[in-house]
């Protein structure tokens, strides 16, 4: 296993983050890089946000990680709770019948994004409905047969969060908090959290109104009180580096979490040429890297073969919603950096 980093890829990452800060793509950000043979390093640029004065982002700045919730909360909890991936969700959720359109969707299909559930989340459409949320989601007509193609669908992970609470008899945020405590991630948790210069604000939804700050940027997570299987988690680059190290060390040592990672980085379905979906994770075609993004401007990259990881934490939605294009150069460089030869 090779764990060393070349200086050049890290210098390219730093330069890109600084350029993105200078041209207004992000207020600032933090990149954590590391490996199993040492402590993490951190690259920083810019400020946390205008509301935070001159405060600069650092390893302990708290970011809304958005869809990293899927791989930092829901995915590890499913893998360590003993839930059978081949079992239909109606078996676990008493309000969902076997005859419901989504009743036969399996947990494995949720993780692989092959459920065929509606792609638009839109929980606001259920306001004033009295039925159970799981029954409402599974009661909608499917757009495809389960298991027949990749479509990124938040509804599946919302179901997974409801399922975890039902199976364990505990709230999702409580389950996740126990996991993060065991892994040594003291600054990671579901919101809401108090406003401070240590917490990165995100979007201003209405002109003249305060920005979202310490509450989820994702509307549907907010409608669920901030606790959901697809979004809602806040974390620091330091905690995500700790998490990445735990996953990679577990993969090397064969722990329960490591075996779950090994199972999850087996391709389940194609996303596009060169990319596959494992269980939750996006996989490069050569299988060397597993990663996931968050809409707010976050990313987590793992290279089990080399023991290296990268974490990107920004609040890119502070200025813009079209993040995929604006963040693409930084994310492309992150992939190059983590796969660079020693």
Mean pLDDT by 10 residues, the chain (342 residues): 76 96 94 92 97 96 98 98 96 97 98 96 91 96 95 97 97 98 98 96 87 95 96 98 98 97 97 96 92 97 95 93 82 92 68
61 and 80 housed in the same domain: no
Whether 175 is covered by a domain: the verdict is: no
Q: Is residue 179 included in any domain, yes or no? A: no
Q: Which of 114, 135, 168 is the last residue of a domain?
A: 168
Domain containing residue 298: 7-68+186-339
Considering the domain architecture, whether residues 101 and 212 belong to the same structural domain is answered as no
How many domains does the structure of the chain reveal? 2
| 284 and 208 within one domain | yes
Instruction: Examine residue 221 and state whether it is found in any structural domain, yes or no.
Output: yes
Instruction: Please check whether residue 264 lies inside any domain of the structure.
Output: yes
Q: Is 82 found in the same domain as 63?
A: no
Residues 138 and 195 in one domain: no
Residue 91 to residue 107: CA distance in whole angstroms: 11
Pairing of β 308-314 and β 298-303: antiparallel
Instruction: Please tell me whether residue 93 adopts helix, strand or coil conformation.
Output: coil
**Residue 4 exposure: Cα atoms within 13 Å on the Cβ side:** 5
For residue 319, the model assigns a pLDDT of 86
Q: For position 81, what pLDDT does the model report?
A: 93
Provide the 8-state DSSP code for 198: T
Same domain (yes/no): 156, 304: no
Supply the pTM of this predicted model: 0.96
Q: Do 87 and 32 belong to one domain?
A: no
Q: Is residue 298 part of a domain?
A: yes
Q: What is the pLDDT, as a whole number, of residue 2?
A: 58
Please check whether residue 26 is in contact with residue 20, taking contact to mean a CB–CB distance below 8 angstroms: yes
283 and 228 in one domain?
A: yes
Q: Is residue 181 domain-resident?
A: no
Helix (H) or strand (E) holding 62, with range, is strand 62-64
**46 and 193 part of one domain:** yes
Residue 246 phi, psi (nearest 5): -65, -40
Same domain, 157 and 82: yes
Q: What is the CATH number of the domain that holds 235?
A: 3.40.710.10
**Same-domain pairing of 95 and 26:** no
Among 168, 201, 216, where does a domain finish? 168
Domain presence at residue 178: no
Residue 174: inside a domain: no
Are 331 and 232 contained in the same domain?
A: yes
Alpha carbon distances (Å) from 267 to 23, 206, 287, 288, 294: 37, 42, 8, 12, 21
């Amino acid at each position: 296993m090779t764990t060393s980093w070349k200086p050049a890829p890290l210098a390219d990452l730093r330069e890109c983050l600084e350029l993105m800060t200078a041209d207004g793509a992000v207020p600032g950000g933090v990149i954590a890089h590391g490996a199993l043979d040492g402590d993490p390093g951190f690259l920083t640029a810019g400020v946390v946000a205008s509301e935070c004065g001159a405060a600069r982002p650092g390893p302990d700045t708290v970011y809304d990680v958005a869809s990293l919730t899927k791989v930092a909360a829901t995915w590890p909890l499913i893998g360590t709770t003993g839930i059978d991936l081949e079992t239909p969700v109606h078996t676990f959720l008493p309000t969902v019948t076997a005859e419901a359109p989504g009743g036969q969707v399996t947990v494995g299909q949720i993780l692989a994004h092959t459920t065929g559930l509606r792609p638009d989340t839109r929980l606001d459409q259920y306001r004033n409905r009295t039925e159970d949320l799981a029954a409402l989601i599974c009661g909608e007509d499917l757009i495809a047969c389960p298991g027949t193609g990749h479509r990124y669908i938040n509804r599946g992970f919302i179901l997974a969060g409801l399922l975890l609470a039902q199976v364990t008899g505990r709230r999702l945020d409580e389950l996740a908090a126990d996991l993060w405590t065991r892994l040594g991630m003291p600054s990671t948790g579901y919101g809401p959290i108090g406003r401070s210069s240590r917490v990165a604000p995100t979007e201003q939804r209405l002109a003249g109104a305060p920005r979202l700050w310490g509450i989820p940027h994702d509307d549907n997570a907010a409608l669920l009180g901030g606790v959901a299987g697809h979004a809602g988690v806040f974390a620091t680059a330091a905690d995500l580096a700790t998490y990445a190290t735990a996953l990679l060390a577990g993969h090397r040592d064969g722990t329960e979490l490591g075996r779950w990672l090994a199972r999850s980085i087996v391709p389940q379905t194609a996303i596009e040429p060169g990319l596959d979906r494992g269980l939750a994770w996006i996989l490069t075609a050569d299988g060397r890297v597993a990663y996931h993004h968050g809409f707010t401007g976050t990313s987590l990259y793992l290279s089990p073969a080399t023991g290296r990881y990268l974490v990107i934490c920004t609040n890119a939605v502070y200025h813009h919603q079209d993040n995929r294009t604006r963040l693409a150069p930084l994310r492309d460089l992150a992939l190059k950096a983590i796969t660079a030869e020693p």
